[in-house]
């Protein structure tokens, strides 16, 4: 057997909680105005893990009103927090700015030195 | 109707520079601009000489762009000039989402770009009150 490269479901453990990218995906799919293109960024700040979710804003949703974009960010944050059970920071990024993948997508960027 | 170009800007070094470079290379002249910023992203709002072309070019360059109708009002360039107009608007219950101002090439008047909920209602109201607002061609050819 070759060396194990990683989990097929990319599960990560953040503050003792199992976080599955597939859960994030299903939350995003349920919210209008976002693309299901996302990246989970985990970092350790001090002694605690922090989870940031980068989400692409959809072209159609983009508005000249900051208020609407901020509302969208808050909605995503609330939905994710209730689905995952941990605090999440949401960052809206430009459409098509996250990497696209053929085959298995890379949805997690783990910056912790575990 | 005056059209404003809005561009989504991720909080990343050089984003604003590349927007303005794309516009500059296409020969588009910026008449006015403002940026709304949050900790994560910004929204750049522009009045340019050719909004349709600017929209197309930015889109082709991969930016997230939208076009919005705004009202451009000519405000007397003296103390209290803007206050008078805002008071009239407040009395008529016209909500302003945001505004930005610039001093026009004619020194006697400043220009204020208003984003309001109902552009039609606002312009007809301005007409009734005798408040001078500018049409698209006047703004684009400034």
Which of A64, A66, A72 is the best residue to mutate to test the B interface, defined by the most B CB atoms within 10 Å of its own CB? Answer: A64
Whether residue A94 and residue B64 make contact (CB cut-off 8 A), yes or no, is yes
The dihedral through the CA atoms of A38, A62, B142, B35 has a sign that is negative
Residue A36, chain B, CB below 8 Å: the answer is no
Q: Is the pLDDT of residue B142 over 80?
A: no
pLDDT band at B129 (very low <50, low <70, confident <90, very high): confident
Residue A95, chain B, CB below 8 Å: the answer is yes
Ordered by where they begin, the domains of chain B are 2-68 (3.30.2130.10), 69-134 (3.30.2130.10)
Whether residue B43 and residue A96 make contact (CB cut-off 8 A), yes or no, is no
Question: B108-134 burial string, b = 16+ CB within 10 Å, else e?
Answer: ebbbbbbbbeebeebbebbeeeebebb
ipTM comes to: 0.74
Whether residue A59 and residue B64 make contact (CB cut-off 8 A), yes or no, is yes
Condensed to tens digits (0 to 9), the pLDDT of residues A4-54 reads 877 888 899 999 999 999 999 999 999 877 778 899 999 998 889 999 999
Whether residue A73 and residue B40 make contact (CB cut-off 8 A), yes or no, is yes
d(CA A39, CA A25): 10
For the whole model, what pTM was predicted?
Answer: 0.82
Condensed to tens digits (0 to 9), the pLDDT of residues B81-123 reads 889 999 999 988 899 999 998 876 666 788 889 999 888 888 8
């Amino acid at each position: 057997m070759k060396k194990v490269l990683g989990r097929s479901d990319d599960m990560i453990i953040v503050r003792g909680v199992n976080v599955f990218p597939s859960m994030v995906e299903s939350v995003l799919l349920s919210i209008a105005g976002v693309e299901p293109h996302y990246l989970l960024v985990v970092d350790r700040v001090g002694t605690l893990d922090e989870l940031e979710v980068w989400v692409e804003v959809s072209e159609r949703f983009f508005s000249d009103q900051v208020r609407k974009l901020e509302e969208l960010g808050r909605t995503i944050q609330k939905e994710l927090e209730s689905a995952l059970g941990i605090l999440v920071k949401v960052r809206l990024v430009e459409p098509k700015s996250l990497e696209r993948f053929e085959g298995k997508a890379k949805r997690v960027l783990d910056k912790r030195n575990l | 109707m005056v059209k404003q170009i809005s561009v989504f800007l991720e909080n990343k070094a050089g984003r604003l520079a590349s927007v303005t470079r794309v516009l500059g290379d296409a020969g588009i002249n910026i008449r006015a601009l403002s940026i709304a910023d949050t900790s994560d992203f910004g929204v750049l709002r522009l009045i340019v000489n050719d909004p349709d072309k600017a929209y197309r070019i930015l889109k082709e360059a991969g930016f997230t762009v939208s076009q919005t109708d705004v009202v451009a009002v000519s405000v007397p360039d003296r103390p209290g000039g803007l206050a008078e107009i805002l008071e009239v608007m407040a009395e008529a219950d016209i909500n302003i989402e945001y505004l930005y101002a610039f001093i026009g090439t004619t020194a006697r008047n400043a220009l204020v770009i208003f984003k309001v909920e109902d552009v039609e209602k606002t312009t007809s109201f301005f007409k009734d009150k005798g408040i001078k607002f500018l049409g698209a061609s006047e703004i684009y050819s400034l």
